[in-house]
């Protein structure tokens, strides 16, 4: 009988764990040890094994041998060793529980018992990361290790022993011929083995085995797919070869059975023999799909760009359309719910100090004055004409309030787009964000434009082909407005029902037949700072043209610019626009507006002269008789009237308030048009101070100038039209257009500017300084004329003979010189007088 030897920790290949107490061996009648499974043998966890005395090897005596069993543990669970929170001890304990002797017939000790092999198992060394185990055994006299291997392999082949967790693959066992290296390094098995040829003893020479010899040694352990010898010109030592097995378990079996074997001379190992050292070689996986994708960027990158665009449209466009619809229909606006309005009304009744806001005070008077315009716009919105509605008027004339608060007061589904934040945005990303905010377009990935631009630039530099990832501002604005058009059309068709009389009509025919169902798009501040960048306005105009042409929505433009037709005619060249021009309020309406502002927040008090009679704040004022004269000077601009009402309410008399407003306007004119820099054009004015002063001085005398007569003046020679248009954009003047569209006359930009012009011309020092600049400019012009004429006379005088035909030309040139000289002398006299004023006065 053979006794089972128990090794101590650090003294043998097996060490006991604290969780498993030692089990004594039990003898049986057949003369071999009754196996108890791994739980009955002192187990050592897979990656903690380091051999006897931690030497990495297993020593054997004359009557001892080592068997290696594979398929004992699931080899595919080796990835658990990669987890940082898992320890080898935990994995080993788990495997002992699930792979006990009562459940696993593939337990090596159970297999040896069932095969009735006359050996005694002394140690069992599980190898978790290799999915197998080493079994150290002893055999009696008259037996050999080869006979034990043969008997055991025949039994396992006949019995078809397989583990319970893998019924398709059977277990195998082979005798270890070499000296296995029991290491606990983190080296996972692979199908590829590296065979190094070393001398049997130090100082001797090793012989490189050929492929046939390697095949003879390794083929019994499994099918080989390839044997690669070291290149003949390689100087790497020691010499090596690579063997590729069809499966990892075959490579594991070969490595553990042949590692450390010495090939004798009879089998090609040389005179002194050759030692084989085996190790796992990580196999480089070739991915032909990935290689093809990276090697063909000209094909792959455009396809990827198309796929990304398709996915973006399929996923995000419905979401964006939904948000645009909620923005237009105000589905999530709390102030539009009935319960909110009810609570607001109740709170207004309880809070007795609630008053009408000052901004709303008196507006009813202005609306009554403009009732025909409001009615006209409302009638246009009920018609199916596919053209624009344009409301033009100067700043402060109440265009936005007239359209939104009056003409569209009871109309649902109104979209307001303010062009100021879009045009004032700096950079493409900011412009896209501003446009998306105006229409409710979200989510917005404007930051992706910068990244995609860099990717596109890099790809173009490497492949020479544009990927299409990056998009221009024009394209991205087009996406925003296209989604908005889709949302507007869905809103227009929401009220359509299956039982309608015109259910047979198409969507376009239905919208054309029912213009009242279309939403209204109001584009405010159109052509604001259009001289800086017209791309945004061109895009909005084109989009508005598509909306009106397809009967999707009514489009209303609100603009201060009188030249709007140039921009809008590009989008709708074959349409006549429906235009409304807002002028200033009439004197009677302006007076009532100011009085209503005075009475908006004041309390009625008792009249001391008539007890029992209540007086409003305006009735208590004794200076309102001045209001008629002040309004005639101030004009009917709403912003100026509101400013006047606030000053009067603060305690000033109407005349003093108007005087202060005129003084403020004079300072504004000096800063913006005469002395300061024009910030709207980057500090580069399109007019000179002399040209602006010429208009101020002329308008202060005449109040209205002929447009073409102004262009004939010497001050506006050259680019007179562009200068006048720039001054109109800056609101110094306003150009009155004739019914046929040509400019007819020039007026002050605001009514309050007329008294401000007069106030400026009354300043002798200021007038003298600016007049002197105009005269200097005129003298320069006349001097240039004289120089030109003298040069031509010099040329004519250099001719050897004077033809008679030249005589009229010479006389005309001499006349021009005389006329210009007379003007210069006149200007010099006037300049002297002006200089005297500047020298005498402050």
Whether the upstream peptide bond of residue 610 has omega within 30° of 0, thus cis, is no
- Which residues contact residue 433 at a Cβ distance below 8 angstroms, ignoring those fewer than 6 apart? 425, 444, 446
**Last residue in a domain, options 242, 265, 285:** 285
Residue 94 has pLDDT above 60, yes or no: no
* 711 and 781 assigned to the same domain: no
809 vs 186, more confident: 809
Does residue 31 share a domain with residue 167?
A: yes
Same domain? 728 vs 828: no
Domains in the chain, number? 5
Q: What is the CATH number of the domain that holds 663?
A: 1.10.10
Same domain, 717 and 686: yes
Q: What digits encode the pLDDT tens for the residues 320-343?
A: 999 999 989 887 766 666 676 667
Tell me how far apart the alpha carbons of residues 218 and 209 are, in angstroms, rounded to a whole number. 12
pLDDT at position 44: 38
Question: Mean pLDDT of all residues in the chain?
Answer: 81
Q: Beta-carbon neighbour count of residue 383 at 10 Å?
A: 12
What is the token pair recorded at 570?
């590009």
Same-domain pairing of 196 and 165: no
On whether the CB atoms of residues 529 and 729 are closer than 8 A, the answer is: no
What does pTM read for this prediction? Answer: 0.62
Check whether residue 563 and residue 709 sit in a common domain. Answer: no
Contact 615, 606 (CB under 8 A): yes
Compute the average pLDDT of residues 355-383. Answer: 77
Burial 8-39 (b: 16+ CB within 10 A, else e): eeeebbbbbbeeeeeeebeeeeeebbebbbbe
Per-residue confidence (pLDDT) for residue 841, from 0 to 100: 84
Q: Which residues contact 222 (CB under 8 A, 6 or more apart)?
A: 245, 246, 247, 249, 250, 251, 253, 254
609 lies in a domain? Answer: no
| DSSP notation for 787-827 | HHHHHHHHHHHTSSS--GGGHHHHHHHHHHHHHHHHHHHHH
Q: Which of 533, 566, 581 is the last residue of a domain?
A: 581
* Average pLDDT of span 150-175: 88
pLDDT at 701 over 60: yes
Q: Are residues 724 and 755 in the same domain?
A: yes
Same domain, 737 and 781: no
Assess if residue 819 is contained within a domain: yes
Residues 85 and 200 occupy one common structural domain: no
Domain assignment present for 658: yes
Task: Choose the most confident range, by mean pLDDT, from 35-49, 356-370, 485-499.
Answer: 485-499
Average pLDDT over residues 418-435: 89
Tell me: do 522 and 661 sit in the same domain: no
- 450 falls within a domain: no
Question: Cα 600 vs. chain centroid, distance in angstroms?
Answer: 48
What is the rounded average pLDDT of the residues 157-182?
A: 88
Together in a domain, 789 and 824: yes
Alpha helices per DSSP H over 554-679 = 564-571, 587-600, 617-620, 627-634, 638-649, 654-669
- pLDDT beyond 60 at 1: no
Residue 811 in any domain: the answer is yes
Q: Which residue has the higher pLDDT, 186 or 3?
A: 186
3-state SS, residue 24? coil
Give the model's confidence band at 290: pLDDT under 50 very low, under 70 low, under 90 confident, else very high: confident
Band of residue 251 on the pLDDT scale cut at 50, 70, 90: very high
pLDDT given at position 281: 92
Split at pLDDT 50, 70, 90, the class of 681 is: very low
Integer Cα distance of 574 and 97 in angstroms: 88
Count CA within 13 A, CB hemisphere, residue 814.
Answer: 8
- How far is residue 695's CA from residue 683's CA, in Å, rounded to a whole number? 21
Boundary of a domain, candidates 734, 762, 790: 762
777 within a domain of the structure (yes/no) = yes
Q: Quick check: is 343 in a domain?
A: no
Burial class (CB in 10 A: 0-12, 13-18, 19+), 105: middle
23 confidence band (pLDDT: 50, 70, 90): very low
Parent domain of 213: 189-285
DSSP 673: I
Residue 840 has pLDDT above 80, yes or no: yes
- What single string gives the DSSP state of each residue in 568-584? HHHH-TT---EEEE--P
Task: Locate 94 and state its tokens.
Answer: 């788990």
The pLDDT value given to residue 51: 66
Which tens digit of pLDDT belongs to each residue from 180-219?
988 878 788 999 999 999 999 888 889 999 999 999 999 9
Q: Between these two residues, 588 and 229, which has the higher pLDDT value?
A: 229
CATH of the domain at 555: 3.40.50
Domain co-membership, 418 together with 518: yes
742 within a domain of the structure (yes/no)? yes
Q: What's the pLDDT score for residue 626? A: 82
Question: Does residue 641 contact residue 594 with C-beta atoms inside 8 Å?
Answer: yes
């Amino acid at each position: 009988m053979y006794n089972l030897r128990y090794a101590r920790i650090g003294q043998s290949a097996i060490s006991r764990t604290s969780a498993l107490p030692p089990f004594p061996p039990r003898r049986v009648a057949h003369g071999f040890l009754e196996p108890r499974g791994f739980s009955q043998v002192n187990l050592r966890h897979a990656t903690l094994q380091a051999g006897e005395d931690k030497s990495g090897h297993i020593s054997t005596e004359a009557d001892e041998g080592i068997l290696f069993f594979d398929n004992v543990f699931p080899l595919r669970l080796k990835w658990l060793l990669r987890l940082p929170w898992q320890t080898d001890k935990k994995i080993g304990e788990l495997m002992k529980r699930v792979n006990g002797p009562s459940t696993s017939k593939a337990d090596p000790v159970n297999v040896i018992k069932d095969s009735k092999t006359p050996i005694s198992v002394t140690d069992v060394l599980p190898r978790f990361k290799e999915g197998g185990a080493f079994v150290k055994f002893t055999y009696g006299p008259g037996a050999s290790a080869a006979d034990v291997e043969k008997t055991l392999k025949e039994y396992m082949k006949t019995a078809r022993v397989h583990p319970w967790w893998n019924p398709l693959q059977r277990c195998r066992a082979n005798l270890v011929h070499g000296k296995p290296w029991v290491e606990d390094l983190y080296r996972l098995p692979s199908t590829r083995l590296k065979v190094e040829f070393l001398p049997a003893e130090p100082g001797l020479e090793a012989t490189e085995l050929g492929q046939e010899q390697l095949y003879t040694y390794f083929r019994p352990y499994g099918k080989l797919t390839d044997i690669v010898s070291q290149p003949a010109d390689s100087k790497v030592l020691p010499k090596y070869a690579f063997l590729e097995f069809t499966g990892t378990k075959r490579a594991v079996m070969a490595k553990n059975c042949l590692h450390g074997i010495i090939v004798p001379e009879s089998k090609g190992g040389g005179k002194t023999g050759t030692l084989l050292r085996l190790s796992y070689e990580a196999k480089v996986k070739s991915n032909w799909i990935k290689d093809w994708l990276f090697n063909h960027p000209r094909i792959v990158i455009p396809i990827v760009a198309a796929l990304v665009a398709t996915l973006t449209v399929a996923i995000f466009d419905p979401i964006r359309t939904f948000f645009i619809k909620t923005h237009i229909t105000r589905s999530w606006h709390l102030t539009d719910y009935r319960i909110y309005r009810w609570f607001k009304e109740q709170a207004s009744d309880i809070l007795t100090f609630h008053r009408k806001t000052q901004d709303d005070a008196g507006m009813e008077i202005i609306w009554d004055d403009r009732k025909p315009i409001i009615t006209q716009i409302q009638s246009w919105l009920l018609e199916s004409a596919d053209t624009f509605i344009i409301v033009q008027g100067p700043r402060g004339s109440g265009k936005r309030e007239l359209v939104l608060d009056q003409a569209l007061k009871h109309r649902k589904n109104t979209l307001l787009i303010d062009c100021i934040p879009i045009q004032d945005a700096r950079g493409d990303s900011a412009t896209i964000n501003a446009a998306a905010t105006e229409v409710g377009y979200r989510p917005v990935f404007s930051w992706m434009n910068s990244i995609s631009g860099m990717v596109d630039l890099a790809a173009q530099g490497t492949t020479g082909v544009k990927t299409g990832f990056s998009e221009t501002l024009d394209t991205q604005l087009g996406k925003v407005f296209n989604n908005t058009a889709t949302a507007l059309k869905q809103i227009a068709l929401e009220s359509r029902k299956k039982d309608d009389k015109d259910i047979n009509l198409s969507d376009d025919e239905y919208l054309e037949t029912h213009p009242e169902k279309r939403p209204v798009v109001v584009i405010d501040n159109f052509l604001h700072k259009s001289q800086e960048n017209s791309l945004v306005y061109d895009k909005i105009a084109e989009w508005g043209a598509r909306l009106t042409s397809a009967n999707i929505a009514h489009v209303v433009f609100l603009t201060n610019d009188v030249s709007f037709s140039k921009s809008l005619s590009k989008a709708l060249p074959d349409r006549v626009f429906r235009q409304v021009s807002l002028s200033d309020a009439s004197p009677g309406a302006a007076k009532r507006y100011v009085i209503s502002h005075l009475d908006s927040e004041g309390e009625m008090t008792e009249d001391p002269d008539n007890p029992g009679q209540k007086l409003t704040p305006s009735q208590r004022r004794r200076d309102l008789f001045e209001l008629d004269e002040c309004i005639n000077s101030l004009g009917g601009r709403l912003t100026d009237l509101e400013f006047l009402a606030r000053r009067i309410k603060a305690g000033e008399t109407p005349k003093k308030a108007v005087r202060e407003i005129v003084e403020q306007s004079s300072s504004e004119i000096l800063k913006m048009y005469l002395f300061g820099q024009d910030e709207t054009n980057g500090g580069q004015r399109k007019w000179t101070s002399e040209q602006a002063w010429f208009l101020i001085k002329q308008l202060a005398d005449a109040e209205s100038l002929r447009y073409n007569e102004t262009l004939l003046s010497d001050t506006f020679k050259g680019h007179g039209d562009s200068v006048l248009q720039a001054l109109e954009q800056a609101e110094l003047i306003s150009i009155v257009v004739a019914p046929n569209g040509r400019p007819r006359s020039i007026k002050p930009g605001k009514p309050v500017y007329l008294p401000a012009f007069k106030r400026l011309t009354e300043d002798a020092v200021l007038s003298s300084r600016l007049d002197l600049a105009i005269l200097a400019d005129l003298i320069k012009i006349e001097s240039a004329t004289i120089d030109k004429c003298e040069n031509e006379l010099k040329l004519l005088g250099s001719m050897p003979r004077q033809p008679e035909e030249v005589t009229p030309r010479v006389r005309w040139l001499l006349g021009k010189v005389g006329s210009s000289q007379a003007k210069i002398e006149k200007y010099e006299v006037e300049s002297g007088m002006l200089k005297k004023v500047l020298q005498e006065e402050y």
